[in-house]
Amino acid sequence: MRPRYKVVGDVALVRLRDGEDPKEVVDYLLGRLPRLRAVLAYEGVGGELRLPRVRLLHGERPVVTRYAEHGVVYELDVERMMFSLGNKFERLRVAALTRDWEVVVDAFAGIGQFSLPIAALGRAVFVHAIEVNPEAYEYLVRNVRANGLEGRVRTHLGDCREVTKGLEGVADRVVMGYFPGTIGYLDAGLRALRPGGGVVHLHDLVEGGSEEEYCARVVGGVKERGYDVRLLRTARVKSYSARLDHVVLDLLCLPRRP
């Protein structure tokens, strides 16, 4: 049976099936993709920092690779930080939605998966990119530089719940590309919006069939915080597991006037 794998740059990530021989899988992949530098067994991501659970099957450490998408180059250490290929369309969609002169806060920037295409595709967009994991942050800074975007992306190392206290009222658009439990970060996202309001892209994991209930909970949470809210769009980014979907809600949040 053909192995289940994805390729990021010159690295393959394999989801091994029960009983599948790792050596046979590596031989299969190197036979077909001779330029692969490393092969890792991938068992998902976990913890608050969404760190990958991987095991090196072939190649040498550090497993640093370069991956190009939508005209942006990302460098990452595949053992220490994640890059979801399944979010490819979503990255382009949000970048295309962002208009010139917008200020964007990317509350969970990772290595720049949203910040970089938003800044690169918009002609006069400014992005504040917040990342709490120092290792991912190091690559975020490196990627901003490698793409020549220092003038359009300001990086912030820290927890978005704290960092946004210094970014109050700056953003036309806030990207909250994180899960699960993203609703717990709503205060941070809303705080960053301009006094006149703006759009929040809120990602989360939602059980199949409970999308409506989830949207109602988010809309209710935004209203409770003093906003009129319009759910502009809700969509499935990808299937996450048999039970859970990765969804994104676009919320137009306008502060209620007294």
Ligand X SMILES: C[S@@+](CC[C@H](N)C(=O)[O-])C[C@H]1O[C@@H](n2cnc3c(N)ncnc32)[C@H](O)[C@@H]1O
Told to check if 113 binds ligand X by CB under 6 A, we report yes
Range in contact with ligand X (rule: CB under 6 A) among 72-80, 95-103, 155-163, 246-254: 155-163
**Rg value, the chain, Cα:** 19
From residue 21, how far is each of 47, 55, 130, 180 by CA, in Å? 28, 14, 40, 32
Single out the residue of 76, 110, 99, 105 nearest to residue 169, CA to CA.
Answer: 105
Q: Which of 9, 52, 110, 221 is the binder for ligand X (CB under 6 A)?
A: 110
Give residue 5's identity as a one-letter amino acid code.
Y
DSSP 217-230: HHHHHHHHTTEEEE
| Residue 257 buriedness (CB in 10 A; 0-12 / 13-18 / 19+) | exposed
- Which residue stretch of 27-35, 79-87, 119-127, 228-236 sits at the interface with ligand X (rule: CB under 6 A)? 79-87
Nearer to ligand X, 31 or 134 (CB): 134
Number of residues that bind ligand X (CB under 6 A): 20
Our CB check for ligand X shows the closer of 11 and 130 to be 130
Under the criterion CB under 6 A, does residue 79 sit at the interface with ligand X? Answer: no
By CB under 6 A, name the one of 67, 126, 178, 227 that touches ligand X.
178
Tell me if 65 contacts ligand X by CB under 6 A. no
- Residues contacting 28, CB < 8 A, separation 6+: 2, 3
Instruction: Enumerate binding residues for ligand X (CB under 6 A).
Output: 48-50, 82, 84, 87, 108, 110, 113-114, 130-133, 136, 159-161, 177-178
